[in-house]
Amino acid sequence: MAKKNIGKHFDIYPMPVVIVGTITDGKPNFMTAAWLTKIHSDPPFLAISLGERQYTAKGIRQTGEFALSYPSIDQAELADYMGLVHGDRVDKAKDIEIFKGSLESAPIVRACPVGVECRATQTIDLPHDYLFIAEVVNVYATESVLTEGKIDPVKLRPFVLTMPDNSYWALGDRIGSAWDIGRALIKP
Ligand SMILES: Cc1cc2nc3c(=O)[nH]c(=O)nc-3n(C[C@H](O)[C@H](O)[C@H](O)COP(=O)(O)O)c2cc1C
Tens digits of residue pLDDT in 85-101: 999 999 999 999 999 99
Residue 137 reports pLDDT greater than 90 = yes
104 touches 23 (CB < 8 A): yes
pTM to 2 decimals? Answer: 0.96
| Cβ 51 under 6 angstroms from ligand 1 | yes
For a pLDDT cut of 70, what percent of the chain falls above it?
A: 100
Average pLDDT score over residue span 28-45? 98
Q: Is 22 in the pocket of ligand 1 (CB under 6 A)?
A: no
Residue 45 has a pLDDT of 98
Total domains, the chain: 1
pLDDT averaged over every residue in the chain:
97
Q: Determine the atom of ligand 1 nearest the C-alpha atom of 30.
A: 26
Calculate the CA dihedral of residues 171, 172, 173, 174 and round it to 10 degrees.
-40
What does the alpha-carbon distance between residue 78 and residue 68 come to, in Å, rounded to a whole number? Answer: 14
Whether residue 2 lies inside any domain: the answer is: no
Residue 107 has pLDDT above 90, yes or no: yes
Distance from the CA of 148 to the center of ligand 1, in angstroms? 33
Residue 158 lies in a domain: yes
- The reply to whether 40 falls in a domain is yes
Find the range with the poorest average confidence among 9-13, 124-128, 131-135: 9-13
Is the CB–ligand 1 distance for residue 64 below 6 Å?
no
Contacts (Cβ under 8 Å, ≥6 apart) of 83: 31, 32, 33
Residue 28 has pLDDT above 90, yes or no: yes
Domain containing residue 141: CATH number: 2.30.110.10
* Cβ of 78 below 6 Å from ligand 1: no
What's residue 4's pLDDT?
Answer: 96
| Helix, coil or strand: residue 44 | coil
For residue 13, the model assigns a pLDDT of 86
> Which residue range(s) make up the domain with 60?
15-185
- Evaluate whether residue 169 is within a structural domain: yes
Residue 33 in any domain: the answer is yes
Contacts 24+ apart (CB under 8 A), 8-15: 11/162, 11/163, 11/164, 13/161, 13/162, 13/163, 14/160, 14/161, 14/162, 14/169, 15/160, 15/161, 15/162, 15/163
Q: Whose CA is nearest to atom 17 of ligand 1?
A: 83
Is 5 inside any structural domain?
no
pLDDT at 188 over 90: no
In a domain, residue 174? The reply is: yes
pLDDT over 90, % of the chain: 97
Residue 155 is assigned to a structural domain of this protein: yes
The mean per-residue pLDDT over the stretch 141-151 comes to 97
